């Protein structure tokens, strides 16, 4: 089924429209499942009834999330629109509303506790997520040329929505980044010695930049431990570290740290934005650093902060200090403890 002529046509259409490799794999997965669910009938022989039955199966029997249901529907709509030239109309099924949950954020002590359980490049990646507000894919796709150590900035090429942007680079990460860049240099020199040295790029960029893909500046900051064959263009190259490799190490660090929150790679980006707003950074600046097109996306962090209630004191905090001291587990607050001091204390 994976090598069927129809699915190869879908793959070709996705590549022609320059969809990412991740989207290509996901769409093919759901289209393949849709066809198998309907006893391998050709999609041209099916219509709304078969689509509705498949989506109901996912929701009721498989109990997939709202986001997964929407993704499956997107894949099917793409197939009918671009491969069969049919618009799916009057479908007795609409895109499921995804719950809008406030993001989980970490305090400085919690970030420090997690970092304290990490070593090497995994710790450096996490520091970039929290210190620069990067998405995990953006961090893993950084190349040597994207790091400006003297200018203290990081260039994010084609972030979410294919938007380029610059974000700040913490001065405390400069020595670690210099060390990591030297590790990349040594690995690249070994690849060149063995007759390799090409880095991977999106298919749309290969012809344009293939003459420079052996240059050190184009190498990934966090390269994979092995070389691979490029899935589109067939050349032997070194890709970046896979997100799953980072996720496994993050999970171990969170458990070891004792932080009792659901922490993902994206949690550090949320924490970056929230902390900047706490420090009084203008929301437009935060929007620019995060790469948000719509300010309303950034404003969710003001809800996390309770910023709309700024200046309001809880009645409990207005009670005499002796009352609070009698509460279980009372700890006096040390206003002089800076965030940097907390990080240094936990990470020493």
The residues annotated as belonging to the active site are 135, 160, 266, 269, 292, 301
Rounded distance between C-alpha atoms, residue 25 and residue 27, angstroms? 6
For residue 31, give the nearest of 89, 72, 67, 86 by alpha carbon. 72
Q: Which position has the token pair 């309303």?
A: 296
Q: Which position has the token pair 């990081």?
A: 154
Rounded distance between C-alpha atoms, residue 330 and residue 320, angstroms? 14
Rounded distance between C-alpha atoms, residue 172 and residue 82, angstroms? 49
Burial class (CB in 10 A: 0-12, 13-18, 19+), 305: middle
198: DSSP letter = P
3-state secondary structure 245-296: HHHHHHHHHHHHHCCCCCCCHHHHHHHHHHHHHHCCCCHHHHHHHHCCCCHH
Q: Where do runs of H (alpha helix) occur along 116-242?
A: 120-132, 136-140, 174-193, 203-209
């Amino acid at each position: 089924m994976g090598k069927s002529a129809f699915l190869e046509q879908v793959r070709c259409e996705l590549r022609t429209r320059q969809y990412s490799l991740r989207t290509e794999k996901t769409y093919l997965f759901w289209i393949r499942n849709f066809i198998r669910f309907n006893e391998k009938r050709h999609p041209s022989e099916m219509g709304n009834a078969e689509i509705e039955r498949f989506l109901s199966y996912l929701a009721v029997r498989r109990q997939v999330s709202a986001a997964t249901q929407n993704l499956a529907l997107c894949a099917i709509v793409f197939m009918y629109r671009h491969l069969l030239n049919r618009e799916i109309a009057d479908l007795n099924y609409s895109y499921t509303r995804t719950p809008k949950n406030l993001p989980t954020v970490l305090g400085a002590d919690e970030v420090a506790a997690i970092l304290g359980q990490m070593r090497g490049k995994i710790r450096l990646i996490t520091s970039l997520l929290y210190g620069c507000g990067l998405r995990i894919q953006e961090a893993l796709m950084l190349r040597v040329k994207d790091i400006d150590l003297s200018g203290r900035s990081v260039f994010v090429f084609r972030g979410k929505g294919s938007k380029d942007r610059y974000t700040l680079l913490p001065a405390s990460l400069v020595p670690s980044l210099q060390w990591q860049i030297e590790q990349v240099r040594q690995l690249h020199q070994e690849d060149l010695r063995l007759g390799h040295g090409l880095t991977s790029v999106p298919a749309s960029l290969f012809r344009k930049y293939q003459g420079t893909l052996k240059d050190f500046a184009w190498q990934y900051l966090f390269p994979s431990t092995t070389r691979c064959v490029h899935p589109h263009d067939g050349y032997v190259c070194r890709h970046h570290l896979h997100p799953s490799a980072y996720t496994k190490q993050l999970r171990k660090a969170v458990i070891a740290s004792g932080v009792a929150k659901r922490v993902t790679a994206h949690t550090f980006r949320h924490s970056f934005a929230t902390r900047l707003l706490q420090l009084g950074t203008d929301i437009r600046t935060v929007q620019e650093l995060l790469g948000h097109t719509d300010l309303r996306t950034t404003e969710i962090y003001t809800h996390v902060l309770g910023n709309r209630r700024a200046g309001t004191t809880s009645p409990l905090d207005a009670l005499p200090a002796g009352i609070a001291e009698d509460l279980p587990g009372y700890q006096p607050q040390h206003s002089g403890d800076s965030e940097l001091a907390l990080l240094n204390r936990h990470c020493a």
